Amino acid sequence: MNARRLRVHGQVQGVGFRPFVWRLASEHSLAGWVRNDGSGVEISVSGEESAMDSFFERLTLESPALSRIDRIESDEDFPAPEMQGFSVLPSGNSPIATHIPPDVSVCEECLHELFDHHSRRYLHPFINCTHCGPRYTLTDRLPYDRKHTSMAKFAMCEQCAAEYEDPSDRRFHAQPTCCPECGPKLSFLDDEGREVQGDAVRIALEWIGQGKILAVKGVGGFHLVCDAKNLEAISRLRAAKSREEKPFAVMFANCASISKYAEMSASEKSLLESRERPVVLLRKKNELPGVADDVAEIGAMLPYAPLHYLLFHEAAGRPSGTSWLDSPQELVLVATSANSGGEPIAISNEEAMAMGIAEGFLLHDRDILVRADDSVMRVSGKSPGFLRRGRGYVPVPVKLPASAPAILALGGFYKNTVCITRGDEAFVSQHVGDLDNASCCAMLEETVFRMIDFLGVTPEFVASDLHPDFHGTRFAREFASSRGIPHLGVQHHHAHVAAVMAEHGLTSPAIGLALDGTGLGNDGGLWGGELLLVGPEGFSRAGHFRELSLPGGDRASREPWRMAASALHALGREDLVSERYGTSGKALFGMIDKGLNSPQTSSAGRLFDAAAGLLGVCEKMGYEGQAAMRLQMLATLHGEIPALESGFSIENGVLDFLPLLFVLAMEKDAMRGAALFHSTLIAALSEWVLAERKKTGIHDVVFSGGCFLNTVLSSGLRRRLMDSGMKVFEASKLPPNDGGISLGQCYVVMQKGVGSCV
């Protein structure tokens, strides 16, 4: 008889791994036991050599779909346990070093039960098993046991308990398992908090049909929901959220329903139907007025919680079985995060009701413990990429090329995330948001302490942005000071490039192309169009865009006409400013001449704004990035066009686009101008990077910064540089925008070495 003790590391708790091991061992007549512990799953097993070999081979080849095995430690010098058969033991008490899986959509088996009249979980809004359902957002701490989740207050009935204790059942130790008899309950309340008697799902659908706005409790937070075909309801929702133009996400019953409104590739369909269920940006085919006007894409998503499916099922007339999900359905729902004024998504019934937006509330009494917005993604070519990383993907770690002391990084100001390292893994939080209000600042601090407790780490170093006035920077200083640990400021664009290098495990020097709105530079200036050389020891600024003035400071980042006027000032064309903008334009000229609230910036984002303003595409933005999105849409509609080779110059590393901006100022066809802007930008950036390769001999180039969310830019530049022999690295596990810089901050500290942080 052979005996062995194994410890399996990775995502192996809450995914059906122990019953899988139990079944595998039983099939091979092996003796021993399996249990969860702080490091993952521990297995003690003994039996005939051939059976043991087969067991070990199948352990990795046939592991559950939601599991992820990072490594297996094996102790072969171990005495055979004196026991018959194979058992599942209670969790151990060793220090926590394991993972918890993210929330995933309801699985096919549970869907069949949900719509089976003979199932005891027929129409049960909280149906789940070890293969599906909420995990992270209802868990308080590790190890992942029911007593550490918001399901602890729901005592299982006799039947659920029997399933929970049976290793042969797919609900064996499924922590959220329940049924209508013992689980959470739905309720429907009106806008004064009074319960409306009757079937909550049926009432909700009736109210949606009447044009009402509902708050629906989901996974990771509430959605504000209304009929996506009711323009009046959408207009009221926009007014209530102070969101005049920014597109809304839309929930469809299935991909067959989406095809009427959007084009969909095989890769996009696969992403929509994935168990993570992100919002996916698709090219529009037909309009849903008021949902996503004046942009080329619509954010589509599929149901992922049983409650979502029940709304579509009710609208379909409560058909039996699941075949109705293969056909297009009429119901289409706006499903946007339930928040107002840029505040964090609501997770409690009280928060949702206090917003003052919804006119009805579809609630339940299972608490959400962790806020997590829907993830937002786009497929570029065949590869998916993030615009926002949240539910479905958090807290999956990024594997680092080496272990490091525990580092806490506080991210930036916009699209904030937090990152904590543990060994050779980096855990990036869900999207926190812009730190321009007290609620998001409080969520940042809440997220830090929850992650520290959750991961069981004690940070030894703290990193933040260089900007001294960011809330994250102030918090980092206070956190470090109170614990007597070092604090390191990391330059914004260095962090952008380092984030992508961390994803890909790059440890040798690379050329970094960081294009975004703005970030504080080492010289105190406002950077944003940067060519960097980045390596383990730090970075150097190899080049930057020619600077333009920001007349009105931050206001210029919201009003592209100001950047257009700034470009005309740089060109010496006061006549055109007066002609286009009258006395307001003359006033800006005077501000720039006198240096009044007109700082200089190398920002690539402001270059996009200047182009949009000059072409008359967007004079004032209703939301961040609107001008650039309109430029991209027009360029896509026009199609490719040769670059204006005389539209730029490069001298001493400075990339100057003034010649291009002059041509755009004279251009009468905005669509042609947008296409010319993109093609010239791609040609110029390619020449810029290749000149640096010639100088340094470096063939690796990293794309990072929010401008690389522009698929015309990213795909065109990628193709051009790869054709020239460059190796291109891009963000894939995190967004290229500020949502990824907390990872970059950690990686900079890790690469610099602990001594330089003191």
Q: What is the pLDDT of residue 756?
A: 39
3-state class percentages of the chain: helix first, strand second, coil last, to nearest 5: 35, 25, 40
363 with 421, same domain: the answer is no
pLDDT at 94: 58
Q: What is the DSSP letter of 414?
A: S
Q: Is residue 401 part of a domain?
A: yes
Q: Which of 366, 8, 432, 9 is nearest to 187 (CA)?
A: 366
What is the per-residue pLDDT for 194?
96
Which of the listed residues 320, 351, 379 is the one where a domain comes to its end? 379
Where does a domain end: 63, 88, 113?
A: 88
| Tokens found for residue 441 | 């600042």
Residue 115 lies inside a defined structural domain of this protein: no
Any domain includes 267: yes
Average pLDDT over residues 518-539: 96
Helices (H), 274-406: 306-315, 349-354
Q: For residues 633 and 612, give the distance between their C-alpha atoms in angstroms, rounded to a whole number.
A: 12
Q: Which residue has the tokens 């402001």?
A: 606
Question: What is the mean pLDDT of the segment spanning 244-268?
Answer: 96
Domain count, the chain: 4
- Judge if 355 and 208 occupy the same domain: yes
What are the Cα distances from residue 158, in Å, to 181, 258, 264, 716?
10, 42, 46, 61
Rounded Cα distance, 329 and 254, in Å: 8
Residue 655 in this model has a pLDDT that exceeds 50: yes
Is 305 or 95 the better-scoring residue by pLDDT?
305
Bridge partners (DSSP) listed for residue 334:
226, 250
**φ, ψ of residue 68 in degrees (nearest 5):** -145, 115
Burial 308-318, CB ≥16 within 10 A → b, else e = bbbbbbbbeee
Residue 384 lies in a domain: no
Q: Of 351, 379, 407, which residue is a domain's last?
A: 379
Is the same domain home to 581 and 468?
Answer: no
User: Residue 81 pLDDT more than 70?
Assistant: no
What's the pLDDT at 39? 78
pLDDT score recorded for residue 757:
38
pLDDT in tens, 152-209: 999 999 999 999 999 889 998 899 999 999 999 999 999 999 999 999 999 999 999 9
Quote the pLDDT of residue 83: 62
Spatial separation of the C-alpha atoms in residues 561 and 577, rounded to whole Å: 10
Provide the percentage of residues in the chain whose pLDDT is more than 70: 97
Residue 493 reports pLDDT greater than 90: yes
Instruction: Name the helix (H) or strand (E) containing 114.
Output: helix 108-114
Res. 93 pLDDT band, cuts 50 70 90: low
Please determine, for residue 707, whether its predicted confidence score (pLDDT) is greater than 90: yes
Are 361 and 213 contained in the same domain?
A: yes
573 and 676 inside one domain = yes
In a domain, 19, yes or no: yes
pLDDT at 92: 67
pLDDT band at 38 (very low <50, low <70, confident <90, very high): confident
**How sure is the predictor about 78, in pLDDT bands with cuts at 50, 70 and 90?**
low
What CATH code is carried by the domain that includes residue 670? 3.30.420.40
Asked if 614 and 606 count as a contact pair (C-beta separation under 8 A), the reply is no
Q: Please answer whether residues 464 and 485 qualify as being in contact, where contact means their C-beta atoms are separated by less than 8 angstroms.
A: no
CATH of the domain at 265: 3.90.870.40
| Crossing angle (nearest 10°) for helices 670-696 and 626-638 | 100
pLDDT for res 503: 96
pLDDT at res. 753: 67
Pairing state between β 360-364 and 214-217: parallel
The secondary structure of 533-555, three-state, reads: EEECCEEEEEEEECCEECCCHHH
How many helices (H) and strands (E) are present in the chain, helices listed first? 21, 29
pLDDT at 1: 64
Q: Kindly state whether residues 440 and 495 are assigned to the same domain.
A: yes
Helix extents (H) in 331-388: 349-354
Do residues 258 and 194 both lie within one domain?
yes
Answer yes or no: do 489 and 584 share one domain. Answer: no
pLDDT, mean of residues 411-435: 96
Whether residue 744 is found in the same domain as residue 698:
no
The pLDDT score that the predictor gives to residue 97 is: 59
- Return the CATH number at 409: 3.30.420.360
- Are residues 410 and 502 located together in one domain of the fold? yes
Other CB atoms within a 10 A radius of the CB of residue 35 amount to 17
Range of the domain at 502: 394-506+737-757
Backbone phi, then psi, for 379, in 5-degree steps? -95, 120
Dihedral (CA of 196, 201, 205, 211) sign? positive
Do 549 and 694 lie in one domain? The reply is yes
pLDDT at 758: 31
Mean pLDDT of all residues belonging to the chain: 94
Query: Are 126 and 183 a contacting pair, CB within 8 Å?
Result: yes
Q: What is the mean pLDDT of residues 467-480?
A: 97
Query: Residue for token digits 């829907």?
Result: 374
* pLDDT score, position 489: 96
Q: For the whole model, what pTM was predicted?
A: 0.93
Q: Based on the domain organization, do 421 and 496 belong to the same domain?
A: yes
